[in-house]
Structure 1
Amino acid sequence: MPTGFTPRTEWPDAPRPLVRAVERALATTVVGIEAVHGGMSPGPAAVLSLDDGRQVFAKAVAAQQSAKAHALYAREAEVLPRLPADVPHARLVTHVVRDDWIVIVTDAASGAAVGPPWRSQHVAATTDAVAVLSAHTDVDGLAPAVDRLPTLDGWELLAERPDAGNVLDGWERDRIHTLVAMSRGWRTWTAGSHAVHLDVRCDNVVEHDDGVWLVDWAHAASGAKWLDAACLAADVVACGHVGGEAVALRAATGILAGLPFEAKRFVVAMTGMFRHNSLREPVSTAPTLRAWQADRARSLRPLVETLVTR
């Protein structure tokens, strides 16, 4: 399992009535299971081989396991049918709600997640994928980006802490006013009418045929055209590149160089969000989340250093 992600329960441990409900929805039976790990949900995920010869991807979660993940799955089930046909994504096959469980079933990709770490061909394919997505405007049913983004006021919240002098490291203390200034106004400059995924990470990009699919669509929204490209640039540095840190940084700065200045501000603000949230109380349903957020903030420092001047 990728480092930092929430351990998942196994598909064979899902309640039998739930599995039978999924089989009824698919009009066939499950004859093979290949577990899939990664992500922040504690529920099971697997590629299911079906008696009729198909393969599908299924992920499930109970509200009792994680009310947040349950709500996100329900939202994703609403988003997937609304995506334009040319957007590279796994088509929704069915979704099942039974008791406090929800299951999403989609087409299965022909390959696996592209990382970590990233490879240059996957960065290029993902760049193309988000460009296809963002070319669409005013997609019906997508909420404004401000409603789907986490709060990006992290640097300001850190600066306001009574113990900021102890919490911030030396580099951050010297530049905190710049970090705060670059992050301010994000609710305005992330707005727009373009369709965006808003959670572009290497574990949310899977190989399929000669290209890639974007998966996990719960955060999809309408926003600024450059948002997903900025997320991609940040993730290349945060998750690393097979060619090493210098290659990752060069790829990220290359992506950002072709975007508006607000994209650079977004990376700075997102790093502040990770830094701030990593210091919050642990989440019982996602025990590795705070450590993952802390690692993201640390890993993004080299990129932020290129974007911030004293």
Structure 2
Amino acid sequence: MNTASGAATLVPHRLSWQELPEQVRAAAESALGAPVVRDVSQSGGFSPGLASRLALSDGRRVFAKAISADQNPRAPRLYRREIEVMRSLPASVPAPRLRWSYDDGKWVMLVLDDVDGAMLATPWRPGQFARVMSALERLADGLTPAPVPAMSIVDDLAENFRSWHAIGADPQLASRLDEWARANLTRLAELESGWASAARGDTLLHADLRADNLLLTDDTVIVVDWPYAVTGAPWVDALLFLPSVAATSDLDPEQAWQDFRPAHAAASGQVNSVLAAVAGDFLYQSLLPAPAGLPTLRAHQREKGMAALAWLRRRIS
């Protein structure tokens, strides 16, 4: 996957190929049938693990990502989830194909197609944004019903999406919210409480769409990094995605939402409930200490949380 242009690197250091343990590198080269002769680390995202385009001695190129709990304790579990999804994604889904995976109990690696594409520019350009929204409509159609087994978003985010309740129970956290959020904590918690029934569905969702998880080719939009894949309502991916657009551009999330075809099947109250849960989750996470190996994550979460909350305020005012 070529991510050399577009979003800036969001981690201070990514592992290089030579920094991986020898046994991991040897296993990969054996499976690929050729040694690695060049490692080009890629920008974008938050993971401190390997995320590199690798050139092989026979001229082939692949994309590899690898991590252990030493870099981030949660990451190996997520990589294992992604392996299961990538093994089963149908060829019709615009995503890189999984060529090989590795898991020795500590280190986890995925080797995927190297996509000849470019990252999206931020601030967002209207033409690129329109292409992505059209691609998300096609993705919702093609992934309903879910073609691969995945847990429900209701189960996966049950704890995350009660964050207004958690903030309301902690006066110290609540004091760090802006004035409007503090004054409306009860209302936000009530809205959030309806998210599960609203978001339930049988569409496979990526659930972590943002500029650095999308690549543009001449004729399509490629969706990368699937460790958070879940099932849910077909409109949820776009709702999770739009706060990141609003946080990095002047594009109007409400207008984009009204133009998004799957959104027409969602009642306004359902949308508000899920959007409240999204805003609460991002803002709650942003108030916590930075996780190991991800020093820039909290600022990113705050930006998206504030954008989601501003959008929600417009909808319920």
- TM norm structure 1: 0.89
Which ranges of structure 1 fall in alignment gaps of 5 or more residues?
Answer: none
User: What CA deviation, in whole Å up to 9, does each residue of 1:108-131 have, x standing for no partner?
Assistant: 111222143322232222223322
**Per the alignment, do residues 122 and 6 of structure 1 end up closer, same or farther by CA in structure 2, a change over 3 Å counting?**
farther
Is 1:274–1:297's contact at 8 Å kept on the other side of the alignment? Answer: yes
Alignment partner of 1:179 is 2:180: no
Quick one: distance in 2 between partners of 1:164 and 1:23? 49
Q: Could you tell me how far 1:308 is from its partner in structure 2?
A: 2.8
Quick one: distance in 1 between partners of 2:70 and 2:174? 39
**Per the alignment, do residues 290 and 139 of structure 1 end up closer, same or farther by CA in structure 2, a change over 3 Å counting?**
same
Quick one: distance in 2 between partners of 1:59 and 1:3? 15
Quick one: distance in 1 between partners of 2:135 and 2:174? 42
The Cα RMSD (Å) is 2.1
Counterpart residue number, 1:284: 292
Quick one: distance in 2 between partners of 1:56 and 1:107? 5
Of the three residues 85, 96, 101, the one matched with 1:90 is 96
Q: Could you tell me how far 1:218 is from its partner in structure 2?
A: 0.9
Q: Report the more deviating stretch, 229-238 or 115-124.
A: 115-124
Of the three residues 25, 44, 52, the one matched with 2:50 is 44
Counterpart residue number, 1:302: 310
- Equivalenced residue count is 301
Q: Could you tell me how far 1:6 is from its partner in structure 2?
A: 6.0
Counterpart residue number, 2:139: 133
What amino acid maps onto 1:269 in structure 2? Answer: A
**Per the alignment, do residues 162 and 301 of structure 1 end up closer, same or farther by CA in structure 2, a change over 3 Å counting?**
closer
Counterpart residue number, 1:55: 61
Is 2:64–2:112's contact at 8 Å kept on the other side of the alignment? Answer: yes
Percentage of pairs with the same residue: 32
- State the secondary structure of the residue aligned to 2:65: strand
Q: Could you tell me how far 1:301 is from its partner in structure 2?
A: 4.2
User: What CA deviation, in whole Å up to 9, does each residue of 1:246-290 have, x standing for no partner?
Assistant: xx12xx112322522223432232111111112223322323322
Which ranges of structure 2 fall in alignment gaps of 5 or more residues?
Answer: 1-6
- State the secondary structure of the residue aligned to 1:34: strand
Counterpart residue number, 2:27: 21
Is 2:246–2:307's contact at 8 Å kept on the other side of the alignment? Answer: yes
Q: Could you tell me how far 1:64 is from its partner in structure 2?
A: 2.4
Is 1:229–1:255's contact at 8 Å kept on the other side of the alignment? Answer: no
- State the secondary structure of the residue aligned to 1:58: strand
Q: Could you tell me how far 1:217 is from its partner in structure 2?
A: 0.6
Q: Could you tell me how far 1:206 is from its partner in structure 2?
A: 1.0
Q: Could you tell me how far 1:90 is from its partner in structure 2?
A: 0.6
Of the three residues 201, 212, 221, the one matched with 1:192 is 201
- State the secondary structure of the residue aligned to 2:118: coil
- State the secondary structure of the residue aligned to 1:188: helix
Q: Report the more deviating stretch, 162-171 or 210-219.
A: 162-171
- TM norm structure 2: 0.87
Q: Report the more deviating stretch, 166-175 or 45-54.
A: 166-175
Counterpart residue number, 2:177: 168
Counterpart residue number, 1:271: 279
